[in-house]
Amino acid sequence: MSRRIIVTGAASGIGARLAAELLRHGDRVCAADLNLAPMQDLRAAAGDPSQLRIETLDVRDPGAWARVVGGVAQDWDGLDVLLNVAGVLRAGYVQEATPADVHFHLDINTKGVIFGTQAALRAMLPQKAGHIVNIASLAGLSPVPGLSLYSASKFAVRGYSLAAAYELRPLGIHVSVVCPDAVQTPMLDIQLGDERAALTFSGARSLTVEEIAGVVIEQVLTRRPIELAVPRVRGRLARLAGFSPALAGLMFERLRRKGLLRQKKLRGPVVSG
């Protein structure tokens, strides 16, 4: 049966891949982002033009959320799934952060998820059914020096999602939080030349958007877990670091050196002219 799904951050990265794959699965998808032009490419993935709805959405704006969710619920007679994918990142040490940086991370990454969840519930609670999937990060399991604001915002997403999952399950609503490692997206590209983001590159490789889309579609949307870290080995390492900050402190310098080496390798040789 065709599901009614909203995907935020659908102009690029994980959101774009998820929207395309869900359309190929035959679902009805509302692709939402501030950048409309790239989402037009999703039309090629829709078997029927009526499957795809494209909406402008600023996740920081509760009114915009009410408009998008209300329109989908009215036109499609309900809402089955909300995928909160939209997110941002700026590397920076704590002493460098400006008020604008603080607002940037918390308004989009954290408040966007909260406002989206609240809007979706207005459609899902009368149905007594629905699934909200929030994309956090391994940075929401373990603190990440150099990405303190991003890590703080994702810790908040994880905490909010877990609390919401416990509250809402008796009401028929499932909430899942997905915590992936670094994923090869435009967000990762901007970190490549920044040593403050070295810990982002401390794994053996970056995940692909195809891998994350596969996990969400094949595992999260079918099994509806409360939390899932990807990949599992790095997830266990992040949980250990989060559980024991003292131990994490001993690990960070080694992981930072590993990340710096991988950044250098990914950038390739410097060519002088």
Tell me the pLDDT tens digit for each residue of 133-179. Answer: 999 999 999 999 999 999 999 999 999 999 999 999 999 999 999 99
Looking at the 3D structure of the chain, how many domains does it have? Answer: 1
Is 273 domain-assigned? no
**In the chain, % of residues over pLDDT 70:** 98
Q: How confident is the model at residue 273 (pLDDT cuts 50, 70, 90)?
A: very low
pLDDT of residue 269: 62
pLDDT of residue 157: 98
How do 130-135 and 4-8 pair as beta strands?
Answer: unpaired
Is 145 domain-assigned? yes
Torsion sign, CA atoms 186, 192, 196, 198 = positive
CATH for 207? 3.40.50.720
Tell me whether the omega of the peptide bond preceding residue 231 falls within 30 degrees of 0, making it cis.
yes
Is 239 domain-assigned? yes
Query: Can you tell me the distance from the alpha carbon of 92 to that of 145, in angstroms, rounded to the nearest whole number?
Result: 9
Is 166 domain-assigned? yes
Cβ count near 197 (within 10 Å)? 24
The stretches of the chain forming alpha helices (DSSP H) are: 13-24, 62-75, 99-105, 112-127, 148-168, 186-189, 209-215, 221-223, 232-243, 245-267
Residue 40, CA atoms < 13 Å, CB-side half-sphere: 4
Is 272 domain-assigned? no
Tell me the pLDDT tens digit for each residue of 30-49. Answer: 999 999 999 999 999 999 99
Would you state the structure tokens that stand for residue 191, as one six-digit string? 């970190």
Cβ count near 100 (within 10 Å)? 9
Residue 243, CA atoms < 13 Å, CB-side half-sphere: 6
pLDDT of residue 194: 92
Q: Which residues are catalytic?
A: 150
Is 108 domain-assigned? yes
Is 109 domain-assigned? yes
Is 236 domain-assigned? yes
Q: How confident is the model at residue 272 (pLDDT cuts 50, 70, 90)?
A: very low
| pTM metric for this prediction | 0.94
Tell me the pLDDT tens digit for each residue of 199-244. Answer: 999 998 999 999 999 999 999 999 999 999 999 999 998 999 898 9
Instruction: Tell me which residue range forms the domain holding 239.
Output: 4-267
